[in-house]
């Protein structure tokens, strides 16, 4: 055995023992997860160009700026004067877009099994039976586990049979269950194929626009840079499933998707969708150590595509998995993307994401001191119940002529009621215009909604309830005034840096009246807020 191989084996053995002895996970999970990440970890860390300081900076523990990186994005043309959008005419023809995200359907889910098994995901036969009324998984699902096939297919049946016909579908990724320690390339591709077939079954004639989520990779969050061994199995497999969705002969879309998992397609004359692979900003994707400023050249491609759309006065919807304003997205990339969003504010109508499993939004602003709202990112709640979430989906209504948003309607079913009544009842949870008192859905309207959430405690409580798709969690875990600071900063920050700055600014006022130090505050929000609510 080569010395390097022996050293790797010793490291792997140590990590498995450490994970097991300190009960980080069960031994079977420790063995599975360490071995799955083994090859990727050694391949990345053995790269000759990676110094300890570089790696320390990448993971966020050391001050660090990439070599020759200014942070200033160069655009092909100067930004034209902003044009105030004209509201759609009431009653004009509309398109209806279904937005699904974070499905995570678990085909191994078994009613009655233990939902508290001590593994990342439970409710399976291998976990043994639970205690009825306590830890036994329900027929229609469980708040501690991924959604089962029974519930998900019922959701699709309701959409297909009970709601008005769809014009388009946005599907923003994360298809496999959370059994990340036992996944293979085959299981991952099968998970996406399963949902692909279901969408074609229930909506055969509806154009569909998918994205790649962070759970599609093996291991989870692993997306090697183009040209790296193992970088194309996923895109080649998915493009085979989705070739008809790409129009069969849209060679540009197929080419960029097979290269880096992103693409652009015309939805209708005057309207385009840009589907981003947000794993190129995923801060857990270790392969990005090699390139954090523009992995897979997606950022430059996005600029070029938006410029082409601007030149012909074409509107654009952006879809992706990981929202740019959260800590999961590398901040160097997010700050560049923020500039792109602002530069093309009159071309981009809105952006649609998932990943967090929660219902929220992000407002982007000019960075020239005027603080005018320029764009909005709408994050849809998950179809999966993992964790503490009612199964949800969203219908986006848009004006046909202008492509502007007319309504955002979020639907859900109460999981406890479904299990108690032996059948789910799907409900309209809320319309955005009604709940947030908006006549239009332009960025400035979302900015006004954010301001209302900040100053009106009743409005915040409504937002907090919808954040979890009206599950029992908000009532069981109330969010007090200091907890609210974190949420409202989250809504107005398109980068993690802006989020941290917002917290510091708000803390100054709060500290003066409550004698709370910043360190204590950070510790507080880690326990009480979204920062401790990571399910993605």
In eight-state DSSP terms, residue 272 is: E
Q: What is the largest CA-CA distance in the chain?
A: 73
Instruction: Tokens for 43, please give them.
Output: 């391949």
Enumerate residue ranges in the chain where pLDDT < 70.
Answer: 1-3, 6, 47-50, 57, 59-65, 67, 248-249, 509-536
In this predicted structure, what is the pLDDT of residue 288?
93
Range list for CATH 3.60.21.10 in the chain: 94-109+146-459
pLDDT score for 482: 79
Q: What is the pLDDT of residues 92-110, one digit of tens each?
A: 999 999 999 999 999 999 9
Residue pair 362/325 in contact (Cβ under 8 Å)? The answer is yes
Residue 532 has a pLDDT of 46
Residues 6+ apart with CB under 8 A from 183: 36, 176, 218, 219, 220
Return left, alpha or beta for 473; rule: phi > 0 is left, psi -120 to 50 is alpha, else beta. Answer: alpha
Are 321 and 211 in contact by the 8 Å Cβ rule? The answer is yes
Residue 472, pLDDT score: 97
Beta strands in 216-347 (DSSP E): 263-268, 271-275, 315-319
In sequence order, the 6+-apart residues with CB closer than 8 A to the CB of 433 are: 407, 408, 439, 441
| Residue with token string 């699902």 | 141
* Residues 169 and 208 sit within 8 Å (Cβ to Cβ): yes
Q: Structure tokens of 449?
A: 């909604």
Is the CATH code 3.60.21.10 the one for domain 94-109+146-459? Answer: yes
* Terminal alpha carbon distance of the chain: 39
Question: Which residues contribute to the annotated binding site?
Answer: 102, 104, 174, 214, 321, 355, 357
- The reported pLDDT for the residue numbered 418 is 98
Please indicate, yes or no, whether the overall pTM of this predicted structure exceeds 0.75. yes
Binding-site annotation: residue ranges for Zn(2+): 102, 104, 174, 214, 321, 355, 357
């Amino acid at each position: 055995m080569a010395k390097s191989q022996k050293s790797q084996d010793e490291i792997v053995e140590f990590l498995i023992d450490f994970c097991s002895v300190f009960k980080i996970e069960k031994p079977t999970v420790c063995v599975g997860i360490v071995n799955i990440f083994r090859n990727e970890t050694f391949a990345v860390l053995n790269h000759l160009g990676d110094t300890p300081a570089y790696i320390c900076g990448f993971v966020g523990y050391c001050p660090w700026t990439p070599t020759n990186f200014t942070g200033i994005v160069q655009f092909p043309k100067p930004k034209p004067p902003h044009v105030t959008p004209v509201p759609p005419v009431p009653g004009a023809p509309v398109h209806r877009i279904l937005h699904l995200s974070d499905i995570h359907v678990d085909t191994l889910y078994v009613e009655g099994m233990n939902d508290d098994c001590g593994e990342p995901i439970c409710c399976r036969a291998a976990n043994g039976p639970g205690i009825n009324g306590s830890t036994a998984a329900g027929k229609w699902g469980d708040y501690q586990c991924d959604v089962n096939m029974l519930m998900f297919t019922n959701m699709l049946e309701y959409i297909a049979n009970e709601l008005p016909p769809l014009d388009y579908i946005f599907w923003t990724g994360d298809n496999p269950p959370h059994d990340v320690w036992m996944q293979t390339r085959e299981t991952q591709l099968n998970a996406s194929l399963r949902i692909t077939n279901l969408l074609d079954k229930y909506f055969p004639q509806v154009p569909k626009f998918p994205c790649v989520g962070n759970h599609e990779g093996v291991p989870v969050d692993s997306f090697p840079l183009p040209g790296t061994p193992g970088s194309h199995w996923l895109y080649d497999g998915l493009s085979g499933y989705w070739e008809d969705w790409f129009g069969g002969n849209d060679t540009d879309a197929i080419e960029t998707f097979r290269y880096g998992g992103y693409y652009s397609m015309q939805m209708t004359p005057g309207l385009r969708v840009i589907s981003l692979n947000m794993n190129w900003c995923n801060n857990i994707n270790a392969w990005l150590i090699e390139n954090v400023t523009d992995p897979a050249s997606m950022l430059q491609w996005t600029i070029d595509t938006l410029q082409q759309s601007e030149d012909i006065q074409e509107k654009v919807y952006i879809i992706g998995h990981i929202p740019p304003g959260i800590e999961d997205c590398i901040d160097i990339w997010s700050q560049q993307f923020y500039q792109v969003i602002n530069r093309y504010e009159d071309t981009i109508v809105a952006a649609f994401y998932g990943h967090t499993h929660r219902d929220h939004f992000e407002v982007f602003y000019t960075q020239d001191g005027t603080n005018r709202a320029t764009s909005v990112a709408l994050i849809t709640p998950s179809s999966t119940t993992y964790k503490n979430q009612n199964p949800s989906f969203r219908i986006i209504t848009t004006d046909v002529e202008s492509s502007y948003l007319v309504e955002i309607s979020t639907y859900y079913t109460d999981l406890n009621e479904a299990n108690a009544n032996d059948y789910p009842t799907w409900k309209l949870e809320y319309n955005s215009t009604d709940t947030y008192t908006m006549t239009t859905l332009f960025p400035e309207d979302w900015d006004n909604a954010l301001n209302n959430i900040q100053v009106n405690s009743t409005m915040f409580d409504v937002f907090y309830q919808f954040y979890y798709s009206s599950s029992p969690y908000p009532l069981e875990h109330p969010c007090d005034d200091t907890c609210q600071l974190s949420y409202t900063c989250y809504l107005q920050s398109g980068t993690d840096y802006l989020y941290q700055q917002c917290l510091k600014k708000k803390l100054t006022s709060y500290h003066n009246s409550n004698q709370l130090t910043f360190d204590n505050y950070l510790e507080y929000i880690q326990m009480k807020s979204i920062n401790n609510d990571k399910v993605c």
